[in-house]
Amino acid sequence: MPQAVQNWEGRVKMAAEVYVDQKVCIGCGLCMSIVPEVFRLNDAGVSEVHAQNGAAEAKIQEAIDSCPVNCIHWR
C-alpha cells in the first residue's frame, strides 16, 4: 500500500495513485458503494476515479480487494 507524503503546501498526498482499468471493469459499482468519495460510474457505465485523495488508503484498498474482476490498482 502506498505511503502518504506531505507536499510543499503541507497537504497530505498519496505517494501513489489509484486507477481503474476501464477495459476490464464490468461496472458492478462495488467500489463506488465502498468509497463513493473516490469512485463513480462514468457515462460508459464503468468505474473511474474522481477524487484521488477522497478517502483513506485503507478504505481505497478495501475497494481494490473487493473488486470482482481485479481492475483497480495502485500505480
User: What's the mean pLDDT in 21-44?
Assistant: 98
Whether 11 has a pLDDT exceeding 70, the answer reads: no
CA dist 24 and 64 (Å) reads 13
The pLDDT of residue 16 = 87
Whether 31 has a pLDDT exceeding 80, the answer reads: yes
The predicted model scores a pTM of 0.79
Report the chain's mean pLDDT, rounded to a whole number: 89
